[in-house]
Structure 1
Amino acid sequence: MQTYGNPDVTYGWWAGNSGVTNRSGKFIAAHAAHTGLIAFWAGAFTLFELARYDPSVPMGHQPLIALPHLAALGIGFDDAGVWVGGSAVVSVAVVHLVASMVYGAGGLLHSLLFTGDMQDSEVSQARKFKLEWDNPDNQTFILGHHLILFGIANIWFVEWARVHGIYDPAVGAVHPVEYNLNLAHIWNHQFDFLNIDNLEDVMGGHAFLAFAQILGGAHHIATKMGSGLLGSYTKFKGSGLLSAEAILSWSLAGIGWMAIVAAFWCATNTTVYPTEFFGEPLALKFGISPFWVDTVDLPDGLHTSRAWLTNVHYYFGFFYIQGHLWHALRAMGFDFKRVTNAIGNLDNATVTLND
């Protein structure tokens, strides 16, 4: 949190970030509790959508978010998006609800019982996860563990598609999909990913990403960024810029950019987002800002699942990017009070001129 030159500044209870800025234990508590909220939403909303789901209407023509993703993974629905019974969808929802309680309990434990700062922990392994914002060795060690976990998640997805199978709109059925680890294809899809038309390339990209993330994670854990092989820690490498606010700004930039990419992908791609489950591709319109509209008329003013997903992702991404700019400027030392002071001075000048 920026102190505007006052090292003794204090914040009210509502300024949540201030409570975790230099306290890694509280930081972990916030992460665990946040994950619990996300898991609770996923479980509860899946049950909510299942209660409202109408098998007589195409899934893509209903305002659904969670169920189309489950159907695309081959869970609970047939190839036309019709509920086939069983307990698969309910089981997924319940697992998320139970997980939300576990995460919530973890958040409470780290917040109320465990040490507020990991460097004060009696467990030597836990002390490695202390927060030293301008210490690149500390930051790269934590980053490495994140990358490895992301890589494992990619492996799970690839193996689910290879062993269980996912819905392939090219054949109109759920079937096992082998990944195509063609590096030339993967490289070329950097520029035309919106037009990917086969799941083998999609899985190949995820397999390559898993390899890159795990390798990168191991590199970040094993090496020192501030000295040694990679040279001294200079301003070019971020010296003086690393801070809680700076890292928050980069996180917001990453999630914001991914949300915007997902919006464009969801709006147009029918391989990853099958028409059967998400509805027809959308048309891009411009008003005060870009937005996407359905290309099919639905009764009672309803919208397709694709329209809901696309627009929600885009506008969340847009505001995340604004948050990134806000926190990045603060991390660089910009004092936003100068803006309000300048506006106040303009008002005073106007009053003086009128007098």
Structure 2
Amino acid sequence: MGLPWYRVHTVVLNDPGRLLSVHIMHTALVAGWAGSMALYELAVFDPSDPVLDPMWRQGMFVIPFMTRLGITNSWGGWSITGGTITNPGIWSYEGVAGAHIVFSGLCFLAAIWHWVYWDLEIFCDERTGKPSLDLPKIFGIHLFLSGVACFGFGAFHVTGLYGPGIWVSDPYGLTGRVQSVNPAWGVEGFDPFVPGGIASHHIAAGTLGILAGLFHLSVRPPQRLYKGLRMGNIETVLSSSIAAVFFAAFVVAGTMWYGSATTPIELFGPTRYQWDQGYFQQEIYRRVGAGLAENQSLSEAWSKIPEKLAFYDYIGNNPAKGGLFRAGSMDNGDGIAVGWLGHPIFRDKEGRELFVRRMPTFFETFPVVLVDGDGIVRADVPFRRAESKYSVE
């Protein structure tokens, strides 16, 4: 009897050796893709201007993730923070990509070996001599090992105890760099924008996973619970695993779209809400106001605005702009920025300073509307002259 496409995994239903083989092959494919994609991105990436042509403007995908974990140097002699280096070390961007490809090849060979030598004694039940899987024990092993990895990442890698730390920046994405992070064990650890929560949550979750793994390794489930949750069914394992992956993907999708400490602005770019709320614009005006309070001229105050901060407050960097079906990098859409010309000041005949009304995210086009400090419209440049009420023409 033929199987429908969505049930083909039943081929390895009662075959523990080949079930292991396809899992290893899946890991090989994931690692191979990651390494290959990293090499491709490195081939097309231009590191010359990290301020006006950062990785997120160039449409990079895996380079930001490597950088977030502490990789900043290339065997090509450049650093992601700008400038040149002489000794990038083994764990450069190319080193990480190569390690993934080598790991992928080893997993590929291991998968073939386990597919050929599937009938191993270790997979047979001592009582019956037939292949069987002790799924509750396998669950305990997986939980224990993932707990160790989770704990190790938080306690050693993120904290810098045995590792580089992670990419940490200020709220406006201006001073980002790789540094060690101390765990945040107070209520501040639940703030998604506090890097210390990354360390503490991994340590706590890893500890819980280790304890839960040891529990499932040493305690057998009662028969009623075993049958009620269908613990002996490989379909249950598959469905519950997909549910766990969905939960992780759901959390990551939320942090990517709304922003968090795990998605630094320098690596992944600003969010649409930072444009909608005038997040960077408010900081720019605050700095200008502080400069004027120090008796600087208006021109001097504006000249001290960091080019990176001004560039963030550009509508082309709003990830929700450019159309629903925009493909490719932002550079392909509106080119590469070469510099900031400055800030134009508009005034009406009464001498009031006017500000350009920010274009809402979901508008494809929008008229130029100039408002005063109280939000009152004082001038506009509409699409059709007949509609002009306060036109600057």
TM-score by length of 2: 0.60
The answer to whether residue 20 in structure 2 is matched with residue 24 in structure 1 is no
User: Could you list the per-position Cα deviations for residues 2-35 of structure 1 after superposition, in whole angstroms to 9, with x for gaps in the alignment?
Assistant: xxxxxxx564999641221111111000011111
Q: Paired residue for 2:358?
A: none
User: Could you list the per-position Cα deviations for residues 182-212 of structure 1 after superposition, in whole angstroms to 9, with x for gaps in the alignment?
Assistant: 4x556xx3xxxxx512111221011101100
Larger radius of gyration: 2
Q: Paired residue for 1:300?
A: 332
Number of residue-to-residue matches in the alignment: 264
Of residues 34, 37, 48 in structure 2, which corresponds to 1:42? Answer: 34
Measured after TM superposition, the shift of residue 145 of structure 1 is 0.8
The structure carrying a bigger helix percent of its residues is 1
For the structure 1 residues 14 and 197, does the alpha-carbon distance in structure 2 shift closer, same or farther, using more than 3 Å as the test?
closer
Measured after TM superposition, the shift of residue 118 of structure 1 is 4.7
Q: Name the % identity.
A: 25
Consecutive unaligned residues of structure 2, counting only runs of 5 or more, are: 275-317, 323-329, 336-393
For the structure 1 residues 236 and 214, does the alpha-carbon distance in structure 2 shift closer, same or farther, using more than 3 Å as the test?
closer
Higher-RCO chain (CA-CA 8 Å, sequence separation at least 6): 1
Q: Paired residue for 1:90?
A: 94
Report 1:147-158 matches (<5 A): 147-158=143-154
The answer to whether residue 223 in structure 2 is matched with residue 198 in structure 1 is no
Measured after TM superposition, the shift of residue 111 of structure 1 is 0.1
**Cα-Cα RMSD:** 3.3
Q: Paired residue for 2:341?
A: none
**Does the aligned pair in 2 maintain the 1:81–1:277 contact within 8 Å?**
no
Q: Distance in 1 between matches of 2:268 and 2:15?
A: 43
Letter matched to residue 168 of structure 2: D
Consecutive unaligned residues of structure 1, counting only runs of 5 or more, are: 1-8, 133-137, 190-194, 227-232, 285-292, 304-355
User: Could you list the per-position Cα deviations for residues 225-283 of structure 1 after superposition, in whole angstroms to 9, with x for gaps in the alignment?
Assistant: 12xxxxxx226962557522222111112212221221011111242111101111136
User: Could you list the per-position Cα deviations for residues 132-179 of structure 1 after superposition, in whole angstroms to 9, with x for gaps in the alignment?
Assistant: 4xxxxx222111111111112213322112222221112522211122
Measured after TM superposition, the shift of residue 90 of structure 1 is 0.7
Measured after TM superposition, the shift of residue 181 of structure 1 is 3.5
Q: Paired residue for 1:105?
A: 109
Q: Paired residue for 1:141?
A: 137
Measured after TM superposition, the shift of residue 116 of structure 1 is 6.6
User: Could you list the per-position Cα deviations for residues 41-95 of structure 1 after superposition, in whole angstroms to 9, with x for gaps in the alignment?
Assistant: 1111111111111123111212111100111222125996548563511111111
**Does the aligned pair in 2 maintain the 1:155–1:207 contact within 8 Å?**
yes
Q: Paired residue for 2:167?
A: 167
The answer to whether residue 54 in structure 2 is matched with residue 58 in structure 1 is yes
For the structure 1 residues 111 and 82, does the alpha-carbon distance in structure 2 shift closer, same or farther, using more than 3 Å as the test?
farther
Q: Paired residue for 2:262?
A: 272
What SS does structure 2 have at the residue aligned with 1:198?
A: coil
Letter matched to residue 89 of structure 1: Y
What SS does structure 1 have at the residue aligned with 2:253?
A: helix
The answer to whether residue 71 in structure 2 is matched with residue 75 in structure 1 is yes
For the structure 1 residues 161 and 302, does the alpha-carbon distance in structure 2 shift closer, same or farther, using more than 3 Å as the test?
farther
User: Could you list the per-position Cα deviations for residues 299-343 of structure 1 after superposition, in whole angstroms to 9, with x for gaps in the alignment?
Assistant: 43379xxxxxxxxxxxxxxxxxxxxxxxxxxxxxxxxxxxxxxxx
**Does the aligned pair in 1 maintain the 2:12–2:19 contact within 8 Å?**
yes
What SS does structure 2 have at the residue aligned with 1:167?
A: strand
Q: Paired residue for 2:184?
A: 180
Q: Distance in 2 between matches of 1:89 and 1:121?
A: 46
**Does the aligned pair in 2 maintain the 1:181–1:204 contact within 8 Å?**
yes
Q: Distance in 2 between matches of 1:277 and 1:238?
A: 46
**Does the aligned pair in 1 maintain the 2:176–2:266 contact within 8 Å?**
no
Letter matched to residue 274 of structure 1: P
Letter matched to residue 161 of structure 1: V
